[in-house]
Structure 1
Amino acid sequence: MKDDKIIYITNEEVNRSNPNTTQDTPHEEEQKNIKQPKKKKSLYKYLTTILLATLIYVLCAWSSQVPMAEIIDVELPTIVFASLIITCLVENNYKKIAYIGYLIVTCVIYLLQPSYAFLISSALIAQVCVSLTYKIFYNVYDYNINNTEVVNKKQSRIVQYYHRMKYHIVLSIVIFVAFTLLSYYYPSVFQQLVMPALQGMNEGVNNGTVQLATIPLFTNNFTVAINMFLGGVYFSTVTLYLLIYNALVIGFTGSTLPIVYYLTFTLPHGIVELTAIILAGAAGFRLTQAIITILSGIPNDDAPFTDYVIVGGRMIADSLILLVIFTILLIIAAFIEANLTIPLGTTILGLI
């Protein structure tokens, strides 16, 4: 009797014996693993963009008393379609084409039908905000759990700080500028929202409760800025509200005054003051990121909870640096507004 033999055949031998059988190489398997998360990421971005764009438009339409039936029948499908197009372009590495093209299309549509330009701009604003938020949490230059000491010896500490904070600042700029422009070009939409604040301000100046002096102006502006910063504790809900509301007030005020008059009495102190407000918004976003980072370490077994606390603490330190910067800027802005803006504006208008 012959001994039975067990023969082991490797996958490589099977492939050689059967040329029709295909097997993914390690590189091909890696590519498949990369494509799958990318598809999921694109889907999440698309859905988030739709939700955010819809929220922006619905809240604005609600403030201007647009019928909800009209929003559902016409505006909502347009927002979904516009969000799909811009997200697809951005996710397929056509960012410049998408953003520049959408800006051009928005301007052209505004000349033809302003209401539809509002729809397109809502999708554009939402997509930019979603992309920047993603970059904030996946910034390769930022602190991370595996390596809390992110240091490049070739870069100064200021440059490293800039790389950690640039997306927070850009996000704050985009939100502020976007809603300033919306309020400027669509003042009727936001009239009921901002008029009480403007009337209260005018009454305060007339009866003397609002003083155009350095300390009162600084106190008022610092109160707004510090609330924006501390709003990061509430996951930036307060930060977003104050950032958007102040942008709406500035844009609406600009739409009600002659542009030369408005800029003359706003730019001298406004450049410094608005920079401080934008930095306050960025500080609030950073504080929110720090809190989310710390909280994410509670149920996580990948690293000790202390590592998450250390990283979150360093993010809080970054936000405190912005707190110092925007406080100094607000002091400078208050001094300029109280002592230089009116005399300088009067002189400039007298020369024109």
Structure 2
Amino acid sequence: MIGEIKSAFRENRLAIALSVAILLISLVLGYVLEPFLHSFLNPVVEDLTQKVQSGVITLTFQDIFLNNIRIVIQMFIYGMAFCFSVVVLAFNGFFVGYYVATSADLVKTSLLIIPHGIFEFSSCILACASGLILFNFICKFLKTLWRQQDNSVKIRLANSFNASSSKLKHAIIIFAIASILMAIAGFVEVYLTIPIAEFIIKLL
């Protein structure tokens, strides 16, 4: 199993590197372009804040995990729609960058994001990469299927799947790791982020 995980990461370095680049660029742009994004993203921030304060959204492990795992699943599935998972990752990066830019206390806000963000961002990167790999699987499957002319439909489907199945396996492996990281992120956010932030703030 360890060998398959290493293979999944080694053979899909480009998809992972692309996902890292998309997240970093969107984070920076969300921060830098905050004045231009205000009219678009501020209503989202205010609505989220109001729902948390009114109790519509509760910051429990279950609620946070279910919300975040939904994003992970979206990025995986949307990979089938011409890599639409990239858009989901970029939006989340823009949102976090914008949120940090609008905060009154940059240090405190950063400390309230970084502890769980390490796992959450890693999860989102891998989720997006898994979507890209899933898209790669579909393209490879269809390409192999198209090239076969003389075989029956059943044989052509079987041959195409066998030729591209490693990509599907890699997509599932990386998606599973992304889900595990998101579960860890939820635990850290609920139980550890605030104590860690408060401890560091006291030291400062």
5+ residue gaps, structure 2, are: none
Partner of 2:87: 241
Check whether the contact 2:69–2:179 (CA below 8 A) recurs between aligned residues. Answer: yes
SS of 1:297 mapped into structure 2 = helix
Alignment match of 1:204 (pick from 43, 51, 69): 51
C-alpha distance after superposition, 1:126-159 (max 9, x if no partner): xxxxxxxxxxxxxxxxxxxxxxxxxxxxxx5444
Structure 1 counterpart of 2:53, one-letter code: N
Check whether the contact 1:183–1:189 (CA below 8 A) recurs between aligned residues. Answer: no
Matching of residue 343 in structure 1 with residue 195 in structure 2: yes
Q: TM-score, normalised by structure 2?
A: 0.89
- Aligned-residue offset at 1:328: 0.9
Partner of 1:250: 96
Matching of residue 333 in structure 1 with residue 185 in structure 2: yes
Structure 2 counterpart of 1:172, one-letter code: S
The whole-number CA distance in structure 1 between the counterparts of 2:83 and 2:62 is 28
Matching of residue 310 in structure 1 with residue 162 in structure 2: yes
Check whether the contact 1:184–1:252 (CA below 8 A) recurs between aligned residues. Answer: yes
The whole-number CA distance in structure 2 between the counterparts of 1:187 and 1:290 is 37
After superposition, residues 282-301 of structure 1 pair within 5 angstroms as 282-301=129-148
Structure 1 counterpart of 2:168, one-letter code: I
Partner of 1:222: 69
Partner of 1:232: 79
Identity %: 26
Structure 1 counterpart of 2:93, one-letter code: A
Structure 2 counterpart of 1:241, one-letter code: V
Q: How many residues align?
A: 196
Partner of 1:170: 17
Structure 1 counterpart of 2:166, one-letter code: R
- Aligned-residue offset at 1:318: 0.7
For CA contacts below 8 A with separation 6 or more, give which structure has more relative contact order: 2
- Aligned-residue offset at 1:209: 1.4
Structure-2 change in CA distance of 1:298 and 1:340 (3 Å): same
Matching of residue 190 in structure 1 with residue 37 in structure 2: yes
Check whether the contact 1:194–1:248 (CA below 8 A) recurs between aligned residues. Answer: no
Check whether the contact 1:272–1:332 (CA below 8 A) recurs between aligned residues. Answer: yes
The whole-number CA distance in structure 1 between the counterparts of 2:11 and 2:28 is 28
Structure-2 change in CA distance of 1:176 and 1:204 (3 Å): same
Structure 1 counterpart of 2:42, one-letter code: M
Structure 1 counterpart of 2:96, one-letter code: I
Structure-2 change in CA distance of 1:301 and 1:247 (3 Å): same
- Aligned-residue offset at 1:162: 2.3
Higher helix share: 2
Structure-2 change in CA distance of 1:317 and 1:303 (3 Å): farther
Structure 1 counterpart of 2:188, one-letter code: I
C-alpha distance after superposition, 1:261-296 (max 9, x if no partner): 121111111100110011000000001111111111
Partner of 1:39: none
The whole-number CA distance in structure 2 between the counterparts of 1:289 and 1:261 is 41
Taking only aligned residues, the RMSD between alpha carbons, in angstroms, comes to 1.8
Structure-2 change in CA distance of 1:303 and 1:330 (3 Å): farther
The whole-number CA distance in structure 1 between the counterparts of 2:16 and 2:65 is 22
